[in-house]
């Protein structure tokens, strides 16, 4: 059995799509080497979006570290993904998504041009470090 340790380092925000209620997440993680992926997710349900981020990372790691068919049949080798502090990460990601949603609502509800760029800059500077 092959065991892969997975740790989310940081999540930052990219673009936002207020009409579709979606956000672009830049996810920095370590699985033995530092990597970054980009995901666009709906944010209407922060808990489900957090679970989807972690599930996507697990799926991606399994496909990257998939053993060859010959080796799998001979040794019965499987890949096990172990995530560092998964419960803590789920809770933190969910709260981060709620916070980002609140900032997008402020941007959407901004009716005048004064201060609009400051609100967008505030949104773009939002990040989660685990």
pLDDT of residue 95: 95
CA distance 94 to 91: 5
- CA 1-67-54 angle, 5° bins: 75
pLDDT tens-digit series, residues 3-26: 888 899 999 999 988 788 899 999
> Which residue stretches of the chain are H helix?
46-64, 69-75, 86-109, 116-124
By the 10 Å C-beta count (0-12 exposed, 13-18 middle, 19+ buried), 7 is classed as middle
Q: pLDDT band for position 69 (50/70/90)?
A: low
CA distance 49 to 90: 9
pLDDT of residue 123: 87
Question: To the nearest whole percent, how much of the chain has pLDDT over 70?
Answer: 91
């Amino acid at each position: 059995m092959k065991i892969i340790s997975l740790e989310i380092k940081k999540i930052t925000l990219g673009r936002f799509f207020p009409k579709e209620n979606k956000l672009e997440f830049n996810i920095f993680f370590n699985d033995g080497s530092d990597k970054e992926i980009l995901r666009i997710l709906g944010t209407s349900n922060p808990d489900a979006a957090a679970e989807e981020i972690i599930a996507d990372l697990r799926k991606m790691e399994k496909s990257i570290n998939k053993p060859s068919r010959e080796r799998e049949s001979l040794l019965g080798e499987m890949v096990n993904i172990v995530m560092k502090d998964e419960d803590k990460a789920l809770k933190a990601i969910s709260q981060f998504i709620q916070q980002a949603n609140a900032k997008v609502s402020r941007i959407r509800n901004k009716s005048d041009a004064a201060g609009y760029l400051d609100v967008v800059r505030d949104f773009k500077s939002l990040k989660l470090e685990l």
